[in-house]
């Protein structure tokens, strides 16, 4: 299907969108999309942008969200904001315009802001992602300020539209433990973006957030969401048998219930180790399942 909108995945849960009007956007998805399904979902998103997008981000996102549910897409829109490259260029042009307005040479502004002149040049050309500290230095050197304000105002701006209904109003957060010696979880998530967890005696609900502590690494590694519960064994689950190291753990399927957990994110933080968890509310190394709340939950959430 030929579409006017151009869509490509820039990460497992984020796509770059270029509309026929030349506007560039970034669309965040509510879960990761396995690589084999990305082309199909990208084509669907492009088709829906062609159909619904007229420049009104909020209205279009609501319609696209509902259509992607109806079409059975793997993931749904979570937020939509400016394209990163486009924002770099816009902010860089704004800095250059203000510098010229104040009749400042680039080397002088760089000296006043205490940054490298070559970096300032790249920032102005939209070729360098400047951190907040650097932007604040540049702004202060020109007697300006960096603000986050609604679109339409004449200053730095960044707006994000959130898809309706994609974030559960109420859910629990739980921690479960995984062992590489039993199940190759990393390989399963890399291939499918989800896996089926044996519920055994534990109860979870659709929409609950599940953090996974990997015993061998002694750290929390993954954040997932419960998509389905009380599932009986089927052929879709059988594909995961290749990842079972200990085949004896595959229980009597007539008696076992499964929850489908879909990957949201993998943390890159080095802070979610057993040592740090013990400092923030754990009494011992994680085992089984633990329901999270309070400061411990906030500590974990900030690392994803």
Q: Is 69 helix (H, G, I), strand (E, B) or coil?
A: helix
- pLDDT tens, position by position, 182-208: 899 999 998 888 899 988 767 888 889
Name the percent of the chain lying above pLDDT 70.
86
The CA radius of gyration of the chain, in Å to the nearest whole number, is 23
pLDDT at residue number 154: 37
Helix pair angle (132-141, 106-113), 10° resolution: 110
- pLDDT tens, position by position, 130-184: 788 888 889 888 888 777 655 543 333 334 444 544 444 467 899 999 999 889 9
pLDDT at residue number 81: 75
* Cα gap 133→137, rounded to integer Å: 6
pTM to 2 decimal places = 0.49
- Judged against a pLDDT cut of 70, whether residue 88 lies above it is answered with yes
Ramachandran assignment for 230, one of left (phi > 0), alpha (psi -120 to 50 degrees), beta (any other): left
* DSSP calls for 220-272: EEEEEEEEEEEEPP-HHHHGGGGGBSSGGGS--TTT--EEEEEEEEE---S--
Q: Which helix (H) or strand (E) holds 174?
A: strand 173-178
- pLDDT tens, position by position, 17-53: 998 888 888 888 888 888 888 899 999 999 999 999 9
Task: Tell me the pLDDT band of 272, cut-offs 50, 70 and 90.
Answer: very high
**Average pLDDT rounded to a whole number, residues 74-101:** 79
- pLDDT tens, position by position, 230-271: 888 777 778 888 898 877 666 555 567 889 998 988 888 889
* DSSP calls for 119-168: HHHHHHTT-S---HHHHHHHHHHTT-----B-TTSSS-B---EEPTT-S-
pLDDT at residue number 152: 44
């Amino acid at each position: 299907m030929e579409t006017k909108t151009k869509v490509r995945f820039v990460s497992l849960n984020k796509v770059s969108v270029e509309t026929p009007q030349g506007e560039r956007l970034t669309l965040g998805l509510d879960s990761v999309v396995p690589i084999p399904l990305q082309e199909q979902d990208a084509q669907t998103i492009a088709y829906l942008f062609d159909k619904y997008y007229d420049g009104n981000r909020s209205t279009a996102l609501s319609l696209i969200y509902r259509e992607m549910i109806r079409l059975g897409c793997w993931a749904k829109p979570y937020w939509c904001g400016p394209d990163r490259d486009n924002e770099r260029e816009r902010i860089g042009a704004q800095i250059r315009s203000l510098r010229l307005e104040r009749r400042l040479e680039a080397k002088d502004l760089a000296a006043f802001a205490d940054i490298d002149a070559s970096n300032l040049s790249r920032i102005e050309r939209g070729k360098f992602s400047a951190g907040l500290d650097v932007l604040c230095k540049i702004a202060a050197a020109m007697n300006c300020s960096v603000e986050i304000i609604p679109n339409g105002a004449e200053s730095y701006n960044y707006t994000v539209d959130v898809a309706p209904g994609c974030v559960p109003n109420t859910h629990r957060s739980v921690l479960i433990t995984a062992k590489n010696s039993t199940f190759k979880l990393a390989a399963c998530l890399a291939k499918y973006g989800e896996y089926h967890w044996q519920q055994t005696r534990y109860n979870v609900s659709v929409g609950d957030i599940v953090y996974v502590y990997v015993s061998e690494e002694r750290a929390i590694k993954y954040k997932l969401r419960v998509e389905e519960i009380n599932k009986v064994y089927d052929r879709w689950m059988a594909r995961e048998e290749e990842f079972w190291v200990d085949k004896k753990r595959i229980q009597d399927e007539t008696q076992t219930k499964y929850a489908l957990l879909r990957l949201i994110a993998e943390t890159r933080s080095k802070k979610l180790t057993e040592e740090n968890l013990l400092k923030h509310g754990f009494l011992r190394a994680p085992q089984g399942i633990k329901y999270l709340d309070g400061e411990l939950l906030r500590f974990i959430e900030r690392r994803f």
